[in-house]
Amino acid sequence: MRRITMAIATAATLALGVAACGGTGDSGSSNDGAPVSKGTKLEAANITLWVGFTQRELGVVKDAVKQFEAANPQVHVKVVGGINDDKIIAASRGGKSPDVAQSFSADNAGAFCGSGAWINLKPYMDRDGISDAIFPPAPRAYTQVDGTRCALPMLADAYGLYYNEAMFKKAGLSGPPKTVSQLVDYAKKLTVKNPDGTLKVVGFNPDMGWYSNTPANFGPMFGGKWVDDQGKSTLGSDPAWAKLLTWQKQLIDWYGYDNLVKFQAGLGDEFSTSNAFEKGRLAMNVDGEWRTAFIANEVPNMQYGTAPVPVDDDNQSLYGGGYTTGNIIGIPKRAQHKEQAWALLKFLATADKAQVLLSNGLRNVPTTASSAKSPDLKPDAKFETFLKIFGNSHTTTTPITAAGSAPQELFNSFVDKWQAGRVKDLQGGLTDLDKQIDAQLANAQGEQVP
């Protein structure tokens, strides 16, 4: 706590210091936030790119940057890996700012856009004739706030269902479940219990909060909407959420909550070689496209398949969609070389060549519609499932707010109690949760909560 208090104090000190110093680094022809006229030659410059990637993945990014440098030899790019959002935020307040910054947290786009910490890219896009229609709806949504496009998507994650084909075969099941009732049926058939009643293998774990199981990932199964047109939380007013939670709780109760918690506690870490799906302790699991690369590396002989998440029996048209989120990339307002920064950003986020190279190297979903269809993408039927999910019109993302991931975290907290059986009035609880989230968002924007 003492460290947090000091951090607040230090942050405040820094902020006041910066405010007292006034704006810096916003002058010069290519540095005032306004693009130069079309056709102007890109001047020589040394620029810096901050990314969150490390080790092997950082090497992939550097390979893509080398292609940019080959096409623009007058621009030299220094790539710095291992950057998190705390560093990006600190650089926005003072000190040396990168020219281009990449973040793993699309949830924080609201803060970067709303505050002006990252510049509006629309003037550059308009000048160069780049429409944001080249991105599917979900990544288009999570890279802008209230009409301000301060970021572009640079690779995405899409979530689908992984299923163990060997276990399916043994249980006499032929293909993935497409509806939630099938999912429950399959889960029960695939579950194996020990003689003492504890769980040995779980068909499907519906516990949200564990591994990548979140309301965000499960929401598309029932078509749950997070907010209305006014940005107000709709977890209580959209019946899809209550339906999802009721369905989920029934399956948890079939396992027994305590039994399931004990089972989970005995499993390995999600991002280790002891991952429960890879170890054969789970027959089906909702996970991101990256798992295909993990499996190829860690258990290459595993027989498994991928499919979209099963959907509500009463709304089967949802099938094919899923949840997506991804990396965002933008230009901090204190960047020294904005034109060169835009050229690099444009290359990494919109050029098929770069998107394909990054996708093949990182096994993430490319974020432009054209690159997702590129013949140069490494062929992989299991990965291709996620390309289809990403491009599906029913695929959704979480709302971008000025309060970061607040709606998701408050929902997680509610679901935590619900699935343990501590919420007696689900509808009343969800309605209260809406009020809580709206109040949190209002306070986080400096508004008086009514």
Partner 1 sequence: MAPWIVGFSVFIAYPLITTVYLSFTHYDLLEPSRWIGLANYDYMFSHDKQIWPAIYNTLWLVVIMVPLKVMFAFGVALMLTRARAGVGIFRTIFYLPALAPPVAAALGFVYILNPATGPVNGALRLVGIDGPLWFNSPTWSKPALTLLLLWGVGNTMIIFLAALVDVPRSLYESASLDGASAWQRLRWVTLPSISPVILFAAVVGTIEALQLFDQAYVGATVAAGSASSAGDPSNDLGYPENSTLFYPVLLYQQGFRFFNMGYAAAMAVLLLVVSFAITMFIVRNSRRWVHYAGVGR
Q: Which of positions 13-42 make contact with partner 1 (CB under 8 A)? A: 13, 15-16, 19
DSSP 135-166: S-HHHHHTTEETTEE--EEEEEEEEEEEEEHH
Q: Please tell me whether residue 105 binds partner 1 under the rule CB under 8 A.
A: yes
Q: How far apart are CA 142 and CA 154, in angstroms?
A: 11
Q: Which of positions 209-238 make contact with partner 1 (CB under 8 A)? A: 209-212, 214, 216
Q: Please tell me whether residue 290 binds partner 1 under the rule CB under 8 A.
A: no
Element (H or E) spanning 80, and its range? strand 75-80
Q: Please tell me whether residue 270 binds partner 1 under the rule CB under 8 A.
A: yes
Cβ 437 to partner 1, closest distance in Å?
Answer: 10
Element (H or E) spanning 351, and its range? none
Q: Please tell me whether residue 272 binds partner 1 under the rule CB under 8 A.
A: no
Question: Residue 350 corresponds to which amino acid?
Answer: T
Q: Which residue has the tokens 């940005």?
A: 231
Q: Contact 358/348 with Cβ under 8 angstroms? A: yes
Ramachandran bin of 77, using left for φ above 0, alpha for ψ from -120 to 50, beta for the remaining angles: beta
Binds partner 1 (CB under 8 A): choice among 111, 158, 282, 362: 111
Cβ nearer to partner 1, comparing 162 with 263: 263
Q: Which of positions 376-415 make contact with partner 1 (CB under 8 A)? A: 398, 402-406, 408-410, 412-413
Give the distance from CA 47 to its chain's centroid: 27
Cβ nearer to partner 1, comparing 10 with 74: 10
Cβ nearer to partner 1, comparing 68 with 162: 162
Q: Contact 246/177 with Cβ under 8 angstroms? A: no
Cβ 107 to partner 1, closest distance in Å?
Answer: 6
Cβ 44 to partner 1, closest distance in Å?
Answer: 31
The stretch among 9-17, 37-45, 136-144, 388-396 that binds partner 1 (CB under 8 A) is: 9-17
Q: Which of positions 130-159 make contact with partner 1 (CB under 8 A)? A: none
Binds partner 1 (CB under 8 A): choice among 271, 297, 317, 369: 271
| Alpha-carbon distance values, 282 to 113, 267, 274 (Å) | 40, 10, 12
Cβ 445 to partner 1, closest distance in Å?
Answer: 7
